Structure 1
């Protein structure tokens, strides 16, 4: 099956309302500019006296919690060191899976469960020749210009390292003040997201429109992974119901058909968009039995869980790449309000 030909869900990111963005720091709450030295991040949340709760917690502790949640497959999306709806949902999902009160806060019981993973949240990394070489190329806005490229790779080394380590480029810079990411041999610190336990095979995917999450369950009905998602809009509502996975396309080509999009510009023509992480559907497409709908990646990870889509279910590239290791043709998919 040529799954790429079935791809019709454009991932042009709609602007999020201010209410959907993470709230600013409350009075007395440490800002992101607080010290994020690796030793402080790696120690955060380990001592009851310095854990903090809810939103009143240092950025170092938030970073460590986001990394540990990622390693446990209950992703908060892009690791950014800031509180917000994605972190709250990830904590609630993790808590529920561990038989804790699912209030979405970083309380003592949740830290105890997260600390069952003894790994450091930040580890050292040496910038390689391949990292610096890229190649990198600016990504044009229009579909017609995208179609002229041979691939849709990363635009910068910051974007490439950010995606590899599931971290926002802004936080990567804050974690490495004074470091030159474009120098071969530069020693930096990155989130320890590689080498986590593999995701077991799943039996059922549930997408919650209201919760802005995708949850994967095993055959016993236990949640084994949760990812933030963007799904549906007023123009292109999520097709509520029960469906199946038809198949999976890794590194898909995207076939743009302007006739399928209410917001297509006059004069837009059909186009074949090359594969790559900046492809409109990212690095993977999970084809659903509902025609023209799928679960896929995105070139804009910071928008996941904060914007709407053209009906499909959008995840970060790294989350969809993990999901395709655990599902396949025939997996049940439930789309719900």
Structure 2
């Protein structure tokens, strides 16, 4: 007989086909359900520790070191010319004063901007970029501003919402935008000065060459402007597509994020570092979460200090002591050379700012690579973007407690 009769009737196959189809349909419905999507959002957003009591932090029982004793024993970190217990303030030559000028024409049609007068009418931020600028001004750093809402921007939103009594979601809803109200334009056009161009210098290729330089200056105008305005170099390139960055001249107009907004003075009562979230939070005397910065932590778990510490010294423009023993693959280690002193500057291994902690050889400091902040890349210290390390230095004093949680 052709065609041959099937060995089993057609309805027999429904025995296994129907359960598979049912399971597939239920899985598709579950993945698309609003409840599942909401859970996914919550899981991905870093959470903060909520506090209701006044700050009462047990600090180290080690007696304070008398002022005048020299800082020493810092293994491959900073070798200060300062004294422990005495804050050291020096000028940062790379941070030249800038003059913010008129908004670029491409952005004059933004809501709230008066084309005729050049005035900006305060309004809520409307784009991811404007939200990042508003958060940065408020002290809740989104990391390097890049125009996209990522984990660090979400973490900043959570802290801002928590401190302002808003629903904590990590999402810039309308109530959050109203609180983040822009008082000045988020994007402005400025010019590059001759003095800024003079600050750009190449870095040595080896540690020995770097130790012989006057400073660890910016290597390019692009790097300098990105750091001055708290943004990524790629973002500057994107909003300035016609600029040839390798041959920028003085008086060249450049569009930049307007982060130069002095906020109210903040005095930290507690620094709280969350290792799992890679976040550094600042609480004031009223137990308010007044600032949040992304931070990098040690690659090795056993190098991460957990517990209660204190700030023991504050130094800006500190040197870095290079120890060949900590870099066994370096030419200096192979040549059995001694320790080297790396001069200060934004490209110093510890950035522009160093805050000593009561655990020997540990500190909170800046970094020459702000785009890498938030990763587990340090030898043990806590790294912040240079601009955030400078902000933090202005909030703390010798004796400020620091709590480090897993």
TM-score tier (shorter): 0.7 to 0.9
1:189 alignment partner, SS class: strand
2:130 alignment partner, SS class: helix
Which has the larger displacement, 170-179 or 319-328? 170-179
- Corresponding residue of 1:173: 237
Structure 1: distance between partners of 2:156 and 2:108: 24
Which has the larger displacement, 249-258 or 177-186? 177-186
Deviation track 1:138-180 (CA, whole Å, cap 9, x = no partner) reads: 453x323322222110000111111111111111121222135
Counterpart pick for 1:317 among 377, 386, 405: 386
Give, in angstroms, the shift of residue 8 of structure 1.
3.0
- Corresponding residue of 1:207: 273
1:324 alignment partner, SS class: helix
Deviation track 1:73-131 (CA, whole Å, cap 9, x = no partner) reads: 0001111112322111111111111122222112222111111x322111221221122
Structure 1: distance between partners of 2:394 and 2:144: 20
Deviation track 1:217-238 (CA, whole Å, cap 9, x = no partner) reads: 1111111111110012226531
- Corresponding residue of 1:6: 74
Structure 2: distance between partners of 1:253 and 1:166: 23
State the Cα RMSD in Å: 2.6
Deviation track 1:200-220 (CA, whole Å, cap 9, x = no partner) reads: 111110011111111111111
Q: How many residues align?
A: 298
Q: How does 1:97-176 map to 2 (within 5 A)?
A: 97-115=163-181, 117-140=182-205, 142-176=206-240
Counterpart pick for 1:275 among 315, 326, 344: 344
Q: How does 1:87-102 map to 2 (within 5 A)?
A: 87-102=153-168
- Corresponding residue of 1:23: none
1:162/1:40 CA distance change after superposition, 3 Å: farther
Q: Does 1:244 align with 2:310?
A: yes
Structure 2: distance between partners of 1:164 and 1:97: 27
Gaps of 5+ in 2: 1-68, 79-104, 114-121
Give the TM-score normalised by the residue count of structure 2: 0.68
Structure 2: distance between partners of 1:287 and 1:185: 40
Contact 1:42–1:120, Cα closer than 8 Å, also in 2: no
- Corresponding residue of 1:19: none
Structure 1: distance between partners of 2:129 and 2:135: 10
Structure 1: distance between partners of 2:252 and 2:292: 34
Give, in angstroms, the shift of residue 183 of structure 1.
2.2
Please tell me whether Structure 1 or Structure 2 has the larger radius of gyration of its CA atoms.
Answer: 2
Contact 2:216–2:345, Cα closer than 8 Å, also in 1: yes
Q: How does 1:56-95 map to 2 (within 5 A)?
A: 61-95=127-161
1:40/1:75 CA distance change after superposition, 3 Å: farther
Structure 2: distance between partners of 1:235 and 1:47: 42
Structure 2: distance between partners of 1:78 and 1:192: 13
1:230 alignment partner, SS class: coil
| More relative contact order, 1 or 2 (CA 8 Å, 6+ apart) | 1
Contact 1:199–1:322, Cα closer than 8 Å, also in 2: no
Deviation track 1:237-276 (CA, whole Å, cap 9, x = no partner) reads: 31100011001111010012243x3766452642111111
